[in-house]
Amino acid sequence: MKLIVGIVDEEDSKRLEKKLVENNIRVTKLASTGGFLRSGNTTFLSGVEDTDVEEVLHIYDTTCSKRKMTTNSPVPNPGGRYDFSVEFGYAQPIEVEVGGAVIFVLDVDQFHKI
């Protein structure tokens, strides 16, 4: 068994949830926040048989779209890294590409439903 953890943009989350449920994939949805953009995204948890992993990845692939977003923080410093000690504010806006989806597939040691 595998645990699929998928992080998707809020705009895609309703459609993804519908598709997963339609295809008989069980899912738990968590409200989450991206550490970089500090904006809302949605984390999906699905426990599935190994044989269903490809199908689930295909559903994500056909449902979640890449999009460009602009952020003012954190601040890039001359070394090219980002200064996470600075809170909100005075950085130059930078554009990042988000998603379609960030997906982790984990082995499940045990599954209990009690």
Contact residues: ligand 2BA, CB under 6 A: 7, 34-37, 41, 82, 96-99, 102
Q: Residue number with the shortest CB distance to ligand 2BA?
A: 34
Q: How many residues are listed for the chain in this entry?
A: 114
In terms of CB distance, is 96 or 108 closer to ligand 2BA? 96
In terms of CB distance, is 55 or 71 closer to ligand 2BA? 71
Minimum Å distance from CB 98 to ligand 2BA?
Answer: 4
Distance CA 49, CA 98 (A): 28
In terms of CB distance, is 12 or 19 closer to ligand 2BA? 12
Amino acid at position 102, single letter? V
Minimum Å distance from CB 51 to ligand 2BA?
Answer: 26
Distance CA 67, CA 89 (A): 23
The structure tokens 């990845």 sit at 57
Cis ω before 100 (30° cut-off from 0): yes
